[in-house]
Structure 1
């Protein structure tokens, strides 16, 4: 079997598999796996060569990773997480929560979650300063940001303290809020040449590009300035298929028969009270209330599931 390729994550000194395990899909925002089942899935991925996982405080998957680390040697596994911390206090709480719930004494990459531009970075800079201090003390190896905005990537070019970028990259540019994929790639090229590590998110557009998954993966895999690509996976068949694709192997027909290739959708349950709280969690403006009914603009929705976190009645789910 061809070995799953690894790359240096910029100049961080971290060596990561080209395929990153996207942790969002395991948690309550999507499939709601138990920590034991999620941990087993991460272990399966590690045995296939995936040594890099992306998660976030919002995803509630720290206990899944903790289960996996009962088997996976900590020094052979790279963990990236993120939070919405904006102050020293909130950053301290986020780091403490991550370390305690995953039972680790160090986080490899800590990101400011969903940064939009230089203004949001300025508003979160106190948290960034705290993470930098924790890096100096050995509790974090690298700091950075995740973003759906080209403006945040551009702002990071003036900030050497931002070492890692986690941007949306897919063939159609789905989810990019302020431009197109060509513009995003231009700035990522500059960032990578400056030594910043880059691992992409949503290569399948949150599931919207599943029907064209081969072309979508071919596109991101042929980009020279992307160190790793985070892909959400919910079962061992999906892991095996994606590992094979990243290794350049022919797609296994038998595995494909076991995996549903269909467009996922954000589903609003009939008991929705139309309180509007979910709109606060949608930076893509894919939700709106019309005639006292919550509606989804599926052309804008990237199926992140973040809106469901704001729903007091638990009536929003990616299906």
Structure 2
């Protein structure tokens, strides 16, 4: 396992972390015992960063991670979680208000609840889910979180950017007001490269790259009939509804054509593409089994991404908003 600096925090985190959304139950049925076994296997393999949120199964993901942490007897595991806003911004709103979305009472209640579910004395990284572009000026949220740091309930502060709006975090990253920003980044969702990554490097802000495998499509194993097997009401069933699944398959096929001369499978190319960007401190794929852990961590070997293939990637850029 390779480790990277987490911004200016002084942490050294595994460049491949554990994304905890899928163990909350919103991606289909889950077996908590299997989830704990998978987490412990990940920790044993060198993964030392876990990302979760109150949103993931209404706290269920946090509770399962807490059980795994109580069983773990090894080295430090950095745990990141998130609070959702009191009102989610409209996906079509390019200038949502920030003030009042994370009031003090709300943040304090979320922190206390997360501490209980995780079973820890202090949360390593507390993030705001769906952070807004005015947040570097409307700072009521930062005042409360700074107080919570002083009280010892949280260590570092981060934000999670809206899915298709990485530019909303540029000013915040450049100013260095928080330790980290979480953003979608993968072979399709490429815009963070343009402005966010340079700003993060300049401000010493860590980048957490989520959905590196595009919620499963970039594993490269879907077929025309795969959508029929998605559990109705689950996150993938909703995200890839209508014509979206067929268009995704077509774009995946085009990617496979470019990747084939360099890698034997699309998943390896997708993971190594994200790892090729030094602004990224950690990427957080979802993993449901020890085999999936092993599949992902084998790419943490420091190998260089082919320059010729990297030059072909911009033509595959495809920015979406699954929540429209």
Instruction: Mark the runs of 5 or more structure 2 residues left unpaired by the alignment.
Output: 86-101, 221-265, 304-319
Residue in structure 2 matched with residue 132 of structure 1 by the alignment: 146
Q: CA deviation at 1:158?
A: 5.3
CA deviations over 1:260-318 (Å, ceiling 9, x no partner): xxxxxxxxxxxxxxxxxxxxxxx92555xxxxxxxxxxxxxxxxxxxxxxxxxxxxxxx
Cα distance in structure 2, aligned partners of 1:74 and 1:94: 28
Which of 182, 186, 197 aligns to 1:166? It is 182
Which of 37, 45, 49 aligns to 1:52? It is 49
Q: 1:54 to 1:161 in 2, by over 3 A?
A: same
The farther-off stretch of 43-52 and 134-143 is: 134-143
Residue in structure 2 matched with residue 36 of structure 1 by the alignment: 33
Q: CA deviation at 1:96?
A: 0.4
Alignment of 1:137-216 (within 5 A): 137-147=151-161, 148=163, 149-157=165-173, 159-173=175-189, 181-182=190-191, 184-211=193-220, 212-216=266-270
Alignment pair present for 1:222 and 2:236: no
CA deviations over 1:239-258 (Å, ceiling 9, x no partner): 01111122369xxxxxxxxx
Alignment pair present for 1:17 and 2:71: no
Q: Is the 8 A contact 2:174 2:199 kept in 1?
A: no
With normalisation by structure 1, the TM-score equals 0.70
Alignment pair present for 1:284 and 2:321: yes
Cα distance in structure 2, aligned partners of 1:208 and 1:222: 20
With normalisation by structure 2, the TM-score equals 0.69
Q: 1:33 to 1:12 in 2, by over 3 A?
A: same
Q: 1:121 to 1:112 in 2, by over 3 A?
A: farther
Cα distance in structure 1, aligned partners of 2:74 and 2:270: 32
Residue in structure 2 matched with residue 243 of structure 1 by the alignment: 297
Which of 96, 99, 111 aligns to 2:127? It is 111
Cα distance in structure 2, aligned partners of 1:35 and 1:130: 33
Q: Secondary structure at the match of 1:165?
A: strand
Q: Is the 8 A contact 1:35 1:67 kept in 2?
A: no
Q: CA deviation at 1:34?
A: 3.9
CA deviations over 1:97-129 (Å, ceiling 9, x no partner): 1001111110000111022422x6666x43332
Q: CA deviation at 1:78?
A: 0.3
Cα distance in structure 1, aligned partners of 2:8 and 2:176: 11
More strand by share: 1
RMSD of aligned alpha carbons: 2.2
The number of residues matched between the two structures is 242
Cα distance in structure 2, aligned partners of 1:142 and 1:73: 23
Q: CA deviation at 1:13?
A: 2.0
The farther-off stretch of 40-49 and 156-165 is: 156-165
Q: 1:110 to 1:183 in 2, by over 3 A?
A: closer
Cα distance in structure 1, aligned partners of 2:43 and 2:53: 19
Q: 1:248 to 1:237 in 2, by over 3 A?
A: farther
Q: Secondary structure at the match of 2:33?
A: helix
Residue in structure 2 matched with residue 99 of structure 1 by the alignment: 115
The farther-off stretch of 41-50 and 189-198 is: 189-198
Of structures 1 and 2, the one scoring higher in RCO (CA 8 A, sep 6+) is: 2
